[in-house]
Amino acid sequence: MFYMDSKSQFTVDIICKIIDGKISINSATTLLNKSRRTVERYLSRYRKEGIRFIIHGNRGRPPANKIPDSLKKEVQNLIQTKYFDFNLQHLSELLIKNEGIVIKRETLRSWAHDIHHVKRAKRRRSRVRKYRERMELPGLMLQMDGSPHRWFGDEKSCLIAMIDDATSDIHAQFFPSETTEGCMKVMKTYIETRGIFKTLYVDRAGIFGGPKRSNFSQMQRACEELGIEIIFANSPQGKGRIERSFDTFQDRLVPELRLHKIIDIESANRYLQEEFIPNYWNTHVRVQPKSSRSAFKRLPLNLDLNSICIQKEYRTIRRDHTFGFNNKRYVIDSPIRYSIENQKIEIRCQFDGTFSAYFGHRRLDITELVEPRKCNEYGKEVQRKIEALELVEQLGSISKAARILGCSRQSLYTYQKIMAEEGPIGLKRINKPLKRSKKRIPEHAEDKIVELTIQNPHLTLMQLMIELKQHDITVSIGTIKNIWKEENLNTRELRIKKSQSLNIDV
């Protein structure tokens, strides 16, 4: 049994009518749109096989150029387990390079569709934007931006990159986040390699001096000192070359870093600089400029990148030739012939935390002023105890500190214990024993209040006052409350805890 479509059924009907003499061969050729020789061949096969002549001889046979199913399953398994985050073009290249499997792109696409390995199409732009030609000379304009993403591992990091608009020559580096330090390091490395460029095309982020920084930033100041003009883009599409480069990095670099099991910034930067950019970017993405000339300029001898690509701040000199920085005061030790009072000095802060002071181009020798410590919020007595503990830590011996301070070692041990448990507030409570106030109730009455409280921790103030009257002790609710506070029994939880610690049934 076999099935025929409508076209095959029509062909069989025409051949049967020729056999029955109802129509001629010429009419059949017109109806079937076949040659006379083909119709005669149909007749010959019909007389031998019957209506099975309509079945083509290759039906049911595998094509001679068919790829084995085992290879298809192997490739699909590789897509699902090893190359699940690669695009089709990248996947085709890696199958040839790593697995030695050559598959046509459309065949690979159909296999990927079968296992639903298809990336979403990018959303189309809502408006048409004017195309801008590349710059004619390399170095005329560079675009710079940062891309926070999960490039490797489980945490986000930022890839800061600079790309030449004329050639797509790129320099990029990974940092924990997009900071001024990272941008300056990338720009400094690019200038050391290529030279000083003319303009820098960036977005309006605060790092580059956008509105968030009141149109000033350290990057903007460094570019002005180097003679580089900053141009701010009005939209992400304006600096589309750097934005599209991040698409390529996220599409290709992320799966490659995962494939090589890279999970730290140092290894990622090494792979980026030594493998990805030289082997892929420079061979597949970088283009030749329209002109053979270059707009890059050599770094002048009078400019030092190490003194430009840093943080710079300014302070005013006081009358005593001191200045403040980072909540500390510094005095100028350098010999100065004339007073520089009310003059501005330049503070150059390195990214490792060190800094130096300059007046003009002269570096100043400075010393930090150690001023007397102010009393803390707990008073002079607590401050004295804290300084005693600092002396103990400095000397490393309680006995030596006790001899210097003229106190007992037990006092220092007590200070250490209370400082560790309660902090400075606990040191404030350590006072010399005071004389008992005449207005205070008798000691036996206080002891009875504490005893009854521990025996009956659930009693309220009013209930305890009534219980005390049965023992001929008359006190006010306020007195009981004050005693509870002194004995740290002012909450029901504290009273129950105290009672349980003394093994008293509650």
62 inside domain: no
Are 257 and 353 members of one domain? no
Whether residues 146 and 279 share a domain: the answer is yes
Q: Which tops the pLDDT comparison, 133 or 443?
A: 133
Report CA-CA distances (Å) from 384 to 375, 418, 423, 427, 434: 9, 15, 14, 10, 20
- The vertex-188 CA angle with 193 and 304, nearest 5°, equals 100
359 and 461 belong to one structural domain: no
The answer on 187 and 235 residing in a single domain is: yes
C-alpha torsion angle, residues 259, 262, 265, 270 (rounded to 10): -80
The answer to whether residues 267 and 222 belong to one domain is yes
The DSSP annotation for 174-191 comes to EESS--HHHHHHHHHHHH
Whether 120 maps to a domain, the answer reads no
Range of the domain at 342: 310-369
- Using an 8 Å Cβ cutoff, are 170 and 242 in contact? no
Close Cβ partners of 413 (under 8 Å, ≥ 6 residues apart): 398
Q: What is the CATH number of the domain that holds 150?
A: 3.30.420.10
Does residue 163 sit within a domain? yes
Extract long-range pairs of 496-499: CB within 8 Å, 24+ residues apart: 496/457, 496/458, 498/454, 498/457, 499/454, 499/455, 499/457
In a domain, 129, yes or no: no
Tokens standing for 274? 């030594």
Residue 252 tokens read as 């290709």
The full 3-state SS of 15-53, as one line of letters, equals HHHHHCCCCCHHHHHHHHCCCHHHHHHHHHHHHHHHHHH
21 and 109 both lie in a single domain: no
Residues 477 and 363 in one domain: no
Decide if 127 is inside a domain: no
Residues 237 and 169 in one domain: yes
- Average pLDDT of the residues in 240-259: 92
**Do residues 29 and 154 both lie within one domain?**
no
Q: Within a domain: residue 348?
A: yes
Whether residues 322 and 277 fall in one domain: no
Mean of the per-residue pLDDT values of the chain: 85
Instruction: Give yes or no: residues 193 and 162 share one domain.
Output: yes
pLDDT, one tens digit per residue, over 174-196 is 999 988 899 999 999 999 999 99
Asked whether residue 233 is assigned to any structural domain, the reply reads yes
Q: What is the pLDDT of residues 30-83, one digit of tens each?
A: 888 989 999 998 898 888 888 888 887 777 778 878 888 889 899 999 988 988
Full-model pTM:
0.58
Round to whole Å and give the CA distance between 287 and 21. Answer: 74
**What are the backbone angles phi and psi of residue 373, rounded to the nearest 5°?**
-75, 140
pLDDT (0 to 100) of residue 62? 80
What pLDDT score does 433 carry? 42
Residue finishing a domain among 369, 389, 413: 369
Tokens of 87: 């695009």
**Residue 492: which pLDDT band, with cuts at 50, 70 and 90?**
confident
Asked whether residue 252 is assigned to any structural domain, the reply reads yes
Domain count of the fold of the chain: 6
181/257 same-domain check: yes
